[in-house]
Amino acid sequence: MSVGDVSKRILLGRKLRSSQLGETLLPKRIALPVFASDALSSVAYAPDEIFIMLAIAGTSTYVWSWKIGLVVALVMLTVVASYRQTVHAYPSGGGDYEVATVNLGRNAGITVASALIVDYVLTVAVSISSAAQYAAGAIPPLIGHEATVGVVAVAILTAMNLRGVRESGGFFAVPTYLFMVAILGMCAYGLLRLLAGDLPQAESAGLTIQPSPGWEEPLTQVGLMFLLARAFSSGCAALTGVEAISNGVPAFRKPKSRNAATTLLLLALIAITMMMSVIVLAKQMTIRYVDPHELDRLRSAGGGAVPADYDQHPVIAQIAAGVFDHFSPGFYFVITVTGIILVLAANTAFNGFPVLGSILAQDGLAPRSLGSRGDRLAYSNGIVFLAAMSMLLIWVFDAETTKLIQLYIVGVFVSFNLSQLGMIRHWTRHLRTETDPANRRRMMRSRAINTFGLGMTAVVLVIVLLTKFLAGAWITILAMGFFFLLMQAIGRHYARVELELAADEQDKVMPTRVHAIVLASKLHKPTLRALAFARATRPNVLEAIYVSIDSKATTRLMEEWDERHLDIPLKVLHSPYREVVRPVVEYTQEIRRASPRGVVAVYIPEYVVGRWWEQLLHNQTALRLKGRLLFTPGVMVISVPYQLRSSLVAAEREKRDEERVHAGDLRRGRVAAPEPGRQVDDL
Amino acid sequence: MSVGDVSKRILLGRKLRSSQLGETLLPKRIALPVFASDALSSVAYAPDEIFIMLAIAGTSTYVWSWKIGLVVALVMLTVVASYRQTVHAYPSGGGDYEVATVNLGRNAGITVASALIVDYVLTVAVSISSAAQYAAGAIPPLIGHEATVGVVAVAILTAMNLRGVRESGGFFAVPTYLFMVAILGMCAYGLLRLLAGDLPQAESAGLTIQPSPGWEEPLTQVGLMFLLARAFSSGCAALTGVEAISNGVPAFRKPKSRNAATTLLLLALIAITMMMSVIVLAKQMTIRYVDPHELDRLRSAGGGAVPADYDQHPVIAQIAAGVFDHFSPGFYFVITVTGIILVLAANTAFNGFPVLGSILAQDGLAPRSLGSRGDRLAYSNGIVFLAAMSMLLIWVFDAETTKLIQLYIVGVFVSFNLSQLGMIRHWTRHLRTETDPANRRRMMRSRAINTFGLGMTAVVLVIVLLTKFLAGAWITILAMGFFFLLMQAIGRHYARVELELAADEQDKVMPTRVHAIVLASKLHKPTLRALAFARATRPNVLEAIYVSIDSKATTRLMEEWDERHLDIPLKVLHSPYREVVRPVVEYTQEIRRASPRGVVAVYIPEYVVGRWWEQLLHNQTALRLKGRLLFTPGVMVISVPYQLRSSLVAAEREKRDEERVHAGDLRRGRVAAPEPGRQVDDL
What pLDDT digit, counting tens, does each position of B273-320 carry? 999 999 999 998 988 888 887 888 888 877 777 777 778 888 999 999
Contact B537 A533 (CB under 8 A): no
Contacts of B608 in chain A (CB under 8 A): 630-631
More confident residue, B13 or A115: A115
CA distance B30 to B168: 9
pLDDT on residue B661: 62
Pseudo-torsion of CA A335, A339, A340, A341, nearest 10°? 100
Contact state of B577 with A17 under an 8 Å Cβ cutoff: yes
As a three-state string, the secondary structure of A383-398 is HHHHHHHHHHHHHHCC
Least Cα separation, residue A673 to chain B (angstroms) = 14
CA atoms within 13 A on the CB side of B203: 16
Interacting residues of B382 by C-beta distance below 8 A, sequence separation 6+: B353, B354, B357, B370
Please state, in angstroms and rounded to a whole number, the distance separating the CA atoms of residues B243 and B457. 13
The pLDDT tens digits of the residues spanning A302-333 come to: 777 777 777 888 899 999 988 998 888 888 99
CA distance B468 to B486: 25
Q: Is A532 on the interface with B (CB under 8 A)?
A: yes
Instruction: Please say whether the beta carbons of B346 and B128 come within 8 A.
Output: yes
Residues from chain B that touch A642, judged by Cβ atoms under 8 A, are 501
CA atoms within 13 A on the CB side of B619: 26
Cα separations in angstroms, A371 against A675, B284, B545: 28, 80, 19
Chain B nearest CA to A489, separation (Å): 11
Task: Tell me the C-alpha distance between B84 and B5, whole Å.
Answer: 51
Q: Is A258 on the interface with B (CB under 8 A)?
A: no
A527: chain B residues, CB-CB within 8 Å: 503
Cβ neighbours, 10 Å, residue B544: 24
pLDDT tens-digit map of B478-492: 999 999 999 999 999
pLDDT digits (tens, 9 = 90+) for A480-529: 999 999 999 999 988 888 888 887 766 566 777 889 999 988 888 888 88
User: What was the pLDDT predicted at A168?
Assistant: 58
pLDDT recorded at residue A8: 33
Q: Is A618–B567 a contact, with Cβ atoms under 8 angstroms apart?
A: no
Residue in A7, A13, A525 nearest the CB of B501:
A525
Residue A4 pLDDT > 60, yes or no? no
Convert the pLDDT of each residue in A592-642 to its tens digit. 888 888 889 999 988 887 777 777 777 677 777 888 888 888 888 998 888
The answer to whether the Cβ–Cβ distance between A658 and B3 falls below 8 Å is: no
Pairing of the two strands A11-12 and B514-519: unpaired
Interchain proximity A7–B569, CB inside 8 Å? yes
Which of B3, B494, B558 minimises the CB distance to A540? B3
- Taking only the tens place, the pLDDT of each residue in B239-248 is 888 888 888 7
Identify the sign of the CA torsion B360, B363, B365, B369. positive
Among A55-69, A158-172, A404-418, B520-534, the range scoring the smallest mean pLDDT is: A158-172
| pLDDT for residue A391 is more than 90 | yes
Distance from CA of A46 to the nearest CA of B (A): 37
Q: What integer best gives the mean pLDDT of chain A?
A: 83
Contact A543 B4 (CB under 8 A): yes
Calculate ∠ Cα A398-A404-A410, nearest 5°.
160
Contact A358 B7 (CB under 8 A): no
* Rounded-to-integer distance, Cα A12 and Cα B495, Å: 45
Ranges in chain B, pLDDT < 50: 1-23, 671-683
Instruction: Please tell me if residue A556 touches chain B, with a CB cutoff of 8 Å.
Output: no
Cβ atoms A26, A34 nearer than 8 A:
yes
Nearest to A397 by CA among A129, A25, A582: A129
Residues of B in contact with A616 (CB under 8 A): 367
Q: Taking all residues of chain B, what is their mean pLDDT, rounded to a whole number?
A: 83
Q: A514 forms bridges with which residues in the sheet? A: A599
Taking the C-alpha atoms of residue B620 and residue B64, their distance in angstroms, rounded to an integer, is 70
Q: What percent of chain A has pLDDT over 70?
A: 89
| pLDDT at residue A267, as a whole number | 92
- Which among A579, A589, A591 is the top mutation candidate for probing chain B, defined by the most B β-carbons within 10 Å of its own β-carbon? A579
**What span, in angstroms and rounded, lies between the C-alpha atoms of B394 and A389?**
36
By three-state DSSP, how is residue B436 classified?
A: coil
User: B283, B368, B358, B348: which is closest to B322 by C-alpha?
Assistant: B283
In this structure, how many other beta carbons lie within 10 angstroms of the beta carbon of residue B108? Answer: 22
Tell me if the pTM is above 0.80.
no
**SS3 of B310-374:** CCCCCHHHHHHHHHCCCCHHHHHHHHHHHHHHHHHHHHHHHHHHHHHHHHHHHCCCCCHHHHCCC
Q: Collect all residues of chain A within an 8 Å Cβ-Cβ radius of residue B570.
A: 7, 9
- In the chain, the amino acid numbered A151 is V
Q: Is the peptide bond before B255 cis (omega within 30 degrees of 0)?
A: yes
CA closest to A652 among chain B residues: B631
pLDDT digits (tens, 9 = 90+) for B633-680: 888 899 888 888 877 777 777 667 666 666 666 665 554 443 333 333
**Do the beta carbons of residue A182 and residue A337 sit within 8 Å?**
yes
> Mean pLDDT throughout A346-372?
82
**pLDDT of res. A20:** 35
∠ CA A16-A22-A25, nearest 5°, is 130
